[in-house]
Structures are given as structure tokens and as C-alpha cells.
Structure 1
Amino acid sequence: MKRLRLCSIVGVFVMVMALIVGCGTSTVSVADVTYKDMPLQIQNDANVTALNKATITSTITGPVVYAVKVGDVVTQGQLLATIDTSALQQQLASLQGQLSQAQVDVPAVVTQSAPTVDSAQLERARQMREAGNITEKEYNRILERAQPQVVTSGGGGANTALIASLEVQIAQVQAQMAAATITAPMDGVVTAIYNEDRQMAIAERPLMLIQQNTPMVASLSIPRDAAMKLAEPAAKPTIKVSLHVNNTDIPGELTCVDTNQPDNVPSVLVKATFNNDNNAIKAGEFYSLTIASEARAQMLVVPADAVRESPDGKFVYVLTENSTVDVRVVETGEAQDGVVAIMNGLNEGEKVITTKGTFELGETVKVA
């Protein structure tokens, strides 16, 4: 009887513990991330830059005073910045003083050295010339060596190498001083000033970025199969591109599809070009880019119920191999027949949670 009672107590304890362990664990439904043939309709935020731009690099280091600020419209040749040349001016004055000193004439010292060929050797050379054993030119060389050698040392010639070196250094410093005045290489807009907070120019480092107003280029990475379909000649007549700016859709043209990427790269960069004569598009900003075509492409899809929205954008809950929840930010494309195309953020074979509700990162769940 006691043994039966003990078994009953143990059984109740196991049941209670099971209930405690299972308490709070959500049961969820999941779906696989798979490929499906979808309409080629892409709409995502794209970074916009100027087609023509110039990065201005300083050739000297020093404090800098900027004559423009980010957002200013500039014209070719306009003053952009001036770099302090105080240190260079001191260096130049020092070099010029050294050059003046080196150019002071020093009296020359003339000496003679003994001949290296004696009279007997010269006579033998003469006989050999007459016999045709040596040429007249060779004989004249021997004759020169039979004469005393005059050697000049000192004087202005002694400092020739030093003078040449100083002149080269002076030219380099003057070139650096000339480079301290920074002007615009083209018409455009100042879109970046580097080290502006430090007011310092650093040699061989970018100082400023200027971009032209038009044309503008929007860049976006899209699924590989979609990009390859857009690159096909047959698709070109049906492609429509637009950029949404200030509640207006500006038409553009698809000008680049990076088809040189390896087959295992899931996303491919595409670029669209837009006319910006009215200056509505601002370089460096993000705008909604739409690319549409009559073509269809294989794209990753998930059920529409799996995609959630927050103030920061769209996301999905992913079930990990450990039955915990991962939160993944995604970019979506066209929706059709209850599924949504995924442009970025997921991989084939992953599992997304379709159950409604909110889940915490790292939360343990079980599949229904």
C-alpha cells in the first residue's frame, strides 16, 4: 500500500513539473521560404547619387578654412577652401636662404697632374700608327695622356649638386603652396565635407565631394533571377522605371544590370538613371524606386501572414534550429495569391512564423 501511494505521489509530481515546463511556451505555425514564379514588380528604397561626381583630395596637411558648406551650388573654378601655409612659408624662406649661400662664388684652385704616358710609349704608339696597327683616333687618345692634365677644384662648380637639390626642394614647396587654394573642378553641389568638425585637411585624404545635379543614378540590389530577366533584350521594351520624389513619380531608364556576378550570388546590383534638370532629386538621399516589367522571375516568397510591420520597416519571425525566435528585417516585393516576394533578408529553406501575435527575440516556441 505504501509503495502504491509513493508511486502515485511521484506520478503527480511528474505531471505538475511537465505542466510548469510547458507553461508559457507558445505554439506556432510555420512556413518554408521557397522560390516561386512571380511578377517582376519591384519597389524599394534606393540610394541616389550623381552620375558625374568629383572627390577632391588634398595634397598637403594643415588647418583649413572652408568657403562653402554642404548643399551649396558651386561653379567650376569657384573657391572652395584655403589651407594654412604658414609652415610652408617658413620652409620656403629657409630653403631660399640656403640657396643664396650656396650660390656665393669660391675661388677656383687649378693644379696639374703628371702625364700617364711617357715619351717611349708615345714613340711606340706613333710607329704602330704608321704601321697601321692602330688608328689615328686611338693614337690621339694616347697623345692626350702624354700631356700634363689640368685639374680645377673649388669655385662655383663645387656647389652645383647642392644648388640643384635646393632648387628642386623650393619648386616642390611652391607647388604645395599653390595647392593650398582649393577650387571646384566642375559645376555641381557640395554633398560632403570630410573632417569639417576638425577643420583640418590631411594629405592624400578626401577633402570634399561635389556631385552634378543631373543626371542622377539610383542603385538597388534585387534577386538574381529578376535581374537576369531584366537584362534580356526581349524584356527591355516592357521595363518601366520611376522614382517617387515629393509625391511625384519621375520616369527614368534602367541603365545597368551587373551580370558579371557569380551564379551563387543571390542579389545583383541594378542602376537606373534619371534626368534632374528641375533639381527635385537630392544626391545622397533615399527615394522609392519602382522597376516593373511584363517578365516573370523566380523569387523567394513567404505567406503574406508572415510579414509584420513596425515603424522601422517590415520584418518576419524566423524559427531557428533550436526552436527559438529570430527577428529578421526584410525587403518585400510584389504580393500575389497569398504570398509576398522577398527581395532581401531571408534564405531558401528557412522557416517563418505565420501565427499572429508578438514574439520576443530568443523566445522558445513549439511548432503546431
Structure 2
Amino acid sequence: MDHPTTPATPPAESFPPPEPPPSRRRRWIGILIALLVVAGLAGGSWYLIKRPPAEGAGGFGGPGGPGAFGAGMVTVGHAAARQAELPITLDALGTVTPLATITLKAQVGGVLTDVLFTEGQTVKKGQLLARIDARPYEQALMQAQGTRVRDEAQLEAARVTLSRYRTLLGQDSIARQDVDTQAALVKQLEGTVITDKASEAAARVNVEFTRITAPITGRIGLRAVDPGNTVTANSTTGIAVITQMNPIDVQFSVPQDRVPEIQQQFAQGKPLAVAAFDRTRSTTLDLGTFSTLDNVVDTTTGTVKAKARFENVASTLFPSQFVNVRLTLRTLNSIVVPVTAVRTGPKGPYVYVIGEDRTVQMRTVKRGESTVDVVAITDGLKAGELVVTEGGDRLSEGSRVQLQGERPAAGPRQGASGPRAGASGPRGERRRREGGGPPP
């Protein structure tokens, strides 16, 4: 009886081992790559932080870089406390106001025959500027003169008659009534002559008014009437406007709290200096002196109007111009430092004082008056001491600093003793074996 045969099983070593799933292999490869990247970043960071700084470099290893901070050094700006005259000033916005502004108006009507000035010209007091046709006024003057001469002749005749009547009255040859009547006639004619003289003077004044002259010295503006036009007496527009330029005033306002101090200085006879600046406060237009204060406080602003006078020789101040005014109240002799050097802490104002060993000390000070740039220190600081002006936010008591502009202490140069020197390392050893010697 035949039995079914079982196929022979191949040896175990002829079958390859089962392969892992593809997804598991990719996972392990990704993890390995991530570990290599992390290790590379960590090594690069350690090298950048720990490598010695190159001489004169300003990067990570140079002054102010992470290498410097890692060594406890902070680059700061500094200034020396100094004894100086500190002016106490008051700044305000002012308006240039001329002492006199005159509108040239014709005082008699007529035809404007001549204009003898140039627009924008500086004219002198009494200078002839324009003429009006004077012929009608000259005729009126002659008429007044004729009337006066006629009445004077009548007066003379009446006086002669009165003298004769008085002689006859002494001889009792005439009635006293006739003498009194003649005396009254003489007085009447005397009054008429006085009226004639007044009319003649008025006519002469009108003739003079046909010549328009400058009442003040100043700068004349634009002409409003051309020659040949008829002008009327006291017209609203006028012919031109003259503005006095030298000297000139500047009007500004001061806080009411400053009024007692200004009055005290003014009462002592000390002239208060005033400077006028342009809009940007970069150019000084002119220097003058304080003049006076107004007599009332403006309740809407809490200020008092004030005036300062300037000679304005160069005509740098122009009427109605807006300027920045700086009034100097007094001058203090004190120790001053830049405004940026003073900071405020829980115990009040303080500064960082730089010692000779380049360590900083936090020192409490007392502030005084200040300007835009400097502040007075009344206590806590001596002249010549160095204070921190920039970079103080990164400091604390005892911090070491490096001053701006100082050359940092350099470590060993990489080119002199590093791997490129050729005296050590595998590359240098191979050059020596090959007889090449160290590289140049």
C-alpha cells in the first residue's frame, strides 16, 4: 500500500530573515538625523560663545558682543562732572511787535502827482514821500492873504479916526458917543484881522499837507495808490504803511508763578537778558533786554504778558514774526552732568559713578535746576568724577564696564598661536615630514 510522500523541507539557512516594515526603518532614520542636527547646533553655539575674541573685531567676540557680556563687561557712554555756570532760563513763544506802525494818509484831497519812494525802502523821519497837486490850496492861501491885508488897512484907518476923535473930545468939539462908537469899530476890525490871520494859516497848512513826509524812521511797505489817482482826505486805505524796525519789541507770556522772581530781579536793577531764536531754535536772531510786565494775569491761561526790547540792527526780527524767546533769570555756579546721567529709583535720583578699576557705584544725588542738556547736582557728586550717560539700564552695583572709545584687552591672536601657525597639528606635522616647513 502506497503512502503519500511529504515534500522535503529546505534547510533553515537557505531562507533570508524577515525584513522589518519600511515605515519603522524610516522612523529610525528620521530620529537619527534629528539627533545629529541638535548636536551640530549645540556644538556650533558652544564654539561661538567660547572662542577667543579677535583683536579689533566688533562681532560676537568684539567689544560689546556676547563675548564681552559673558565676561561681565558692558560698554557704556560716560561724561565727567564739571563745575560750570548754569543759566536759569525761561522759554516762551513770542511775537515781534514794532514800536510804531504809521499809515500814510492824505490830509487834503487832490490828484497824487508824485510818489518819491520805493516799496520796501527804509525812510528817514521828515523825508518827502509823495506830492498832491497844490495849486488849489495855493490859490486859497493867496485869497486869505488878500482878505487879511484889506482888513488890516481898514483897521489902520479906524485907528487914525479914533485918534482924531479923541483929540476933538479933548477940545470939547465932538460928542463922547462918537468917540465910543469909533473905538468899538476899531476893536471889531481887530477881531476881523485875527480871523483873517487864522484863515491864512489854515490855507498855508493845507499847502504843506500837499507834501506827504515820513513821520518816523522805518521801513515802508507796498504802495496802495499809484500816481495820477485822486486821493481823499483821511481815506481808510492810505498810500502806504511805515513800520519802525529799530528798535523793536517782542511780546511773550510768562507763567504767573514766575512773576515774583522776575519782579525781584527787575527791582534790584539787574538787566535780564533775553535771546530771540528762530523756529527751530538753532539760530540766534538777536539779543535784547527785558522791558516790562503787564498789570493783569490772563485767567484763561494763567500767564502774564511781557515785553523785551531788541536793537535789531541787522533787521533780523520782522514785525508780526513768531520767535522763540529765552529769558535768563539768573546764573548758578554748580556741578553739572548731562541730563541722561541722572536716573530715578526707589530712594530718589541717583547716578552710576565709574571708578578707576572700571566698576560702577550707584550713588544717590540731589538734583537742582536743569536745562535741556545738563542738570545741576547740589549734593552727592564731585567735579571730575565719571558718570554713566548711556547703557545704564544693563548695570547694577559693582558691574564692570568698558568706556566707549577704549581699546578692549585682546586675547591671543588666532593667526599667531592657532591651528594656522603650522607649528602644531596634523597639517603642520605633515608639512615638516614633507620638508615644506611652516607656511609663510
Q: TM-score range by the shorter chain?
A: 0.3 to 0.5
Larger radius of gyration: 2
Give the number of the structure whose residues are more often helix, by fraction. Answer: 2
TM-score (norm 1): 0.45
Which fold has the larger relative contact order, with Cα–Cα distance below 8 Å and residues 6 or more apart in sequence? Answer: 1
**Larger strand proportion of the pair:** 1
Please give the TM-score of this superposition, normalised by the length of structure 2: 0.39
